[in-house]
């Protein structure tokens, strides 16, 4: 039920961090995986057979998806994991520029990838949009990220409606605090590290591998009747009231 054997998957944001782990894990579950990010190479080699392509998801991505579909026959799984978190900025012009760049990479680009993949997705296909707990709770000092991830959460539900009749499922995977480059600063800061740890029910940060089971579930036939759902993987962060 959880096997991805015979499926073709595209994972964006896969040169490192969460996207890398999901690409590698989805390949281990049997899929043919095409991993995309801007870096010329992934930071470290994949453990499983993964085809890596250097590309910017905020550029013209359509021809690359067409090429993948022509080479591999179709696209069964799309994981939109590419994302950026830009620092909060007091100065107006930089704040606006950061906001617009956040929306472009974190919201418009996943939609562009959905548009590019859809013509090649047979019934039974699955799209997973990596959102964030920042799509359901307010986090400080990053308005563009909050707006983009909240938007991606609702884009997921809208596309679940639009694509449902074609048998394509669209779900969101919402991580809590996971130790990657994106969170390296707060992980290294003893106070912030402890604050984030204590905000979970499980009293620990997440690892990239904590997301893999949920991703395989959403990608596989095990979730055949689930679409438009937010699967929150946050160690209980959003369940907890008093910290
Ligand atoms: N870490 C967390 O705690 C956390 C929590 C909630 C949600 N998330 C989400 O999870 C996803 C992955 O985050 P992460 O923590 O793994 O961050 P990360 O370590 O900074 O990795 C981000 C990935 O996205 C790629 N990327 C960025 N801009 C791109 C672009 N324009 N085109 C193609 N690829 C691009 C990066 O590769 P290149 O630089 O090589 O392009 C890299 O592979 C993001 O969507 C993030 O918002 C993370």
- Bridge partners, 171 (sequence order): 128
Alpha-carbon distance 137 to 68, whole Å?
36
Which residues participate in catalysis according to the annotation? 145
Q: Is 162 among the domain residues?
A: yes
Q: The whole model's pTM is what?
A: 0.98
Q: Is 117 among the domain residues?
A: yes
pLDDT tens digits for 154-169?
A: 999 999 999 999 999 9
Q: Name the least confident of 86-95, 159-168, 176-185, 220-229.
A: 86-95
pLDDT at 87: 79
Q: CATH number for the domain including 170?
A: 3.40.50.720
93 or 85, which is more confident:
85
Alpha-carbon distance 49 to 39, whole Å?
18
Contact by Cβ (8 Å): 122, 74: yes
Q: Is 188 among the domain residues?
A: no
- Give the number of the atom of ligand 1 that is nearest the alpha carbon of residue 85: 47
pLDDT at 41: 98
Six-digit token string for 218 = 């959403």
Question: How many structural domains are present in the chain?
Answer: 1
Q: Find the 27 Cα to ligand 1 centroid distance in Å.
A: 19
pLDDT at 188: 98
The confidence band for 89, taking pLDDT boundaries of 50, 70 and 90, is low
Domain range for 67 is 8-180+207-236
Q: Is 192 among the domain residues?
A: no
Q: Is 96 among the domain residues?
A: yes
Q: Is 34 among the domain residues?
A: yes
Report the SS3 class of residue 172.
strand
Q: Is 187 among the domain residues?
A: no
Q: Is 194 among the domain residues?
A: no
Q: Is 139 in the pocket of ligand 1 (CB under 6 A)?
A: no
Pick from 14, 34, 37 the residue to mutate for probing ligand 1's pocket: most ligand atoms within 8 Å of its CB. Answer: 37
Q: Is 81 in the pocket of ligand 1 (CB under 6 A)?
A: yes
17: left (phi over 0), alpha (psi -120 to 50) or beta: left
Q: Is 212 in the pocket of ligand 1 (CB under 6 A)?
A: no
Cα torsion 58, 107, 185, 92: sign: positive
């Amino acid at each position: 039920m959880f096997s991805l054997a015979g499926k073709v998957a595209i994972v964006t944001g896969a040169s490192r961090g969460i996207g890398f782990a999901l690409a590698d894990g989805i390949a281990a579950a049997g899929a043919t995986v095409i991993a995309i990010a801007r870096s010329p190479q992934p930071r470290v080699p994949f453990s499983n057979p993964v085809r890596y392509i250097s590309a910017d998801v905020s550029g013209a991505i359509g021809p690359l998806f067409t090429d993948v579909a022509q080479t591999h026959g179709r696209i069964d799984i799309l994981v939109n994991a590419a994302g950026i978190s830009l620092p909060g900025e007091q100065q107006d012009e930089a704040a606006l520029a950061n906001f617009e760049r956040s929306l472009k990479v974190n919201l418009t680009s996943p939609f562009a990838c959905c548009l590019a993949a859809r013509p090649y997705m047979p019934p039974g296909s699955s799209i997973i949009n990596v959102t964030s707990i920042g799509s359901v709770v307010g986090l400080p000092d990053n308005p563009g990220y909050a707006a983009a991830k909240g938007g991606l959460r609702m884009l997921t539900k809208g596309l679940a409606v639009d694509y449902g009749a074609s048998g394509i499922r669209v779900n969101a995977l919402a991580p809590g605090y996971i130790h990657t480059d994106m969170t390296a600063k707060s992980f290294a800061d003893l106070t912030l590290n402890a604050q984030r740890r204590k905000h979970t029910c499980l009293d620990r940060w997440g690892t990239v591998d904590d997301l893999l089971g949920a991703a395989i579930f959403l990608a596989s036939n095990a979730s055949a009747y689930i679409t438009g759902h937010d699967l929150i993987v946050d160690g209980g962060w959003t369940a907890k009231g008093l910290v």
